[in-house]
Chains A and B, each alone.
Chain A
Amino acid sequence: MSVLPAALQPTRDAFLTRTTPAARLVAGVVWLVASVVTLDPIVPVRLAVAAIVVLWLWSGLPMRRIPGRLAPLGFAVLSLTVFSILLSSANGDRTLSTVAQIGPARITGPAISAGIAVGLRVVVIALTTLLVFGPSDPTRMADSLVQQWHVPDRFAYGTLAAVRVAPFMAGDWATIGAARRLRGLAPRGPVARVREAGGRLLVMLVSSIRRAERLALAMDARGFDSGLRRTHFREVRTGWRDWLTIAAAIAVAAVALFVPR
Chain B
Amino acid sequence: MTEAPAGRPSGAAAAPPSIEATGLGWTYAGRRRPAIEGLTFRLEAGRVLLVLGPSGSGKSTLARALAGLVPHVQPGSWQGSLRVGELEVADTPARLLGERIGLVFQDPDSQLVMTRVDDEVAFGLENRAWSRTEMTARVPLALAQVGLSGFEHRSTVTLSGGEKQRLAIADILAARPGLLVLDEPTANLDPPGMYSVFEQLAVLAKRREHTIVLIEHRLEAALPLADDVLLMDDGGHQLAFAPAGAVGREAVELLDRSGAWVPRAWTGAGTSRAVERATARAVERAKARAVERATAPASQPAARGGRPADPSALLVEATGVRLEYPADTSGKRLALDAVSVAVHSGERIALVGPNGAGKSSLLFAIAGLLRPAAGTVRLRALPRNGEAVEPLRDPSRLRSSEIAARIGLVFQDPELGFVAGTARDEVNASARAAGGRTGTGSGGPDDLGADGALARFGLGHLAAEVPFALSQGEQRRLSLAALALRPPAVLLLDEPTFGLDRRGTEAVLALLDEGRTAGQAQILATHDPRLLPACDRVVALDRGRVVFDGSPAAFLAAPPFEPAEPWRDGVAPGPASTPRTAVP
Residue numbers of A with Cβ under 8 A of B are 2, 6-7, 9, 137-139, 157, 160-161, 164-165, 168, 172, 175-176, 178-186, 199, 203, 206-207, 210-211, 214-215, 217-235
Q: Is the CB of B73 within 8 A of A184?
A: no
Taking the closest CB of chain A, its distance from the CB of B223, in whole angstroms, is: 26
Q: How far is the CA of A137 from the CA of B132 in the complex (A)?
A: 21
One of B102, B105, B408 near A182 (C-beta < 8 A): B408
Q: Which residues of B contact A9 (CB under 8 A)?
A: 329
Q: Is the CB of A214 within 8 A of B111?
A: yes
One of B2, B107, B119 near A214 (C-beta < 8 A): B107
Q: Which residues of B contact A157 (CB under 8 A)?
A: 113, 123
Q: Which residues of A contact B22 (CB under 8 A)?
A: none
Taking the closest CB of chain A, its distance from the CB of B98, in whole angstroms, is: 4
Taking the closest CB of chain A, its distance from the CB of B152, in whole angstroms, is: 11
Taking the closest CB of chain B, its distance from the CB of A170, in whole angstroms, is: 11
Q: Is the CB of B419 within 8 A of A185?
A: yes
Q: A175-B411, A223-B127, A225-B94 are in contact. Are A139 and B73 (CB under 8 A)?
A: no
Mark each residue of chain B from 485 to 514: 1 if its CB lies under 8 Å from any CB of chain A, else 0: 000000000000000000000000000000
Taking the closest CB of chain A, its distance from the CB of B113, in whole angstroms, is: 5
Q: How far is the CA of A176 from the CA of B413 in the complex (A)?
A: 10
Taking the closest CB of chain A, its distance from the CB of B3, in whole angstroms, is: 6
Specify the main secondary structure of chain A where it touches its partner. helix
Q: Which residues of B contact A199 (CB under 8 A)?
A: 419
Taking the closest CB of chain B, its distance from the CB of A168, in whole angstroms, is: 7
Q: Is the CB of A214 within 8 A of B105?
A: yes
Q: Is the CB of A222 within 8 A of B73?
A: no
B468 on the A face (CB < 8 A)? yes
Q: Is the CB of B128 within 8 A of A178?
A: no
Q: Which residues of B contact A179 (CB under 8 A)?
A: 409, 411, 416-417, 419
Q: A176-B416, A214-B107 are known contacts; what are 17 more A-B pairs with Cβ within 8 Å? A: A139-B114, A175-B416, A176-B417, A181-B400, A183-B419, A215-B110, A217-B69, A222-B175, A226-B129, A227-B95, A228-B2, A228-B3, A228-B5, A230-B129, A231-B130, A232-B132, A233-B119
Q: Is the CB of A183 within 8 A of B115?
A: no
Considering the complex, give the chain A residue whose CB is closest to the CB of B403.
A182
B1 on the A face (CB < 8 A)? yes
Taking the closest CB of chain A, its distance from the CB of B290, in whole angstroms, is: 35
Q: Which residues of B contact A210 (CB under 8 A)?
A: 415, 468
Q: Is the CB of A218 within 8 A of B94?
A: no
Q: Which residues of A contact B122 (CB under 8 A)?
A: 233-234
Q: Is the CB of B128 within 8 A of A180?
A: no
Q: Is the CB of A172 within 8 A of B416?
A: yes
B2, B131, B364, B416 pick with most chain A CB within 10 angstroms: B416
Q: Which residues of A contact B175 (CB under 8 A)?
A: 222-223
Q: Which residues of A contact B404 (CB under 8 A)?
A: 182-184
Q: Is the CB of B413 within 8 A of A175?
A: yes
Q: Is the CB of A7 within 8 A of B415?
A: no
Q: How far is the CA of A225 from the CA of B540 in the complex (A)?
A: 45
Q: How far is the CA of A199 from the CA of B327 in the complex (A)?
A: 28
Q: Is the CB of A219 within 8 A of B95?
A: no
Taking the closest CB of chain B, its distance from the CB of A202, in whole angstroms, is: 10
Q: A175-B411, A179-B417 are in contact. Are A226 and B127 (CB under 8 A)?
A: yes
Q: Is the CB of A183 within 8 A of B3?
A: no
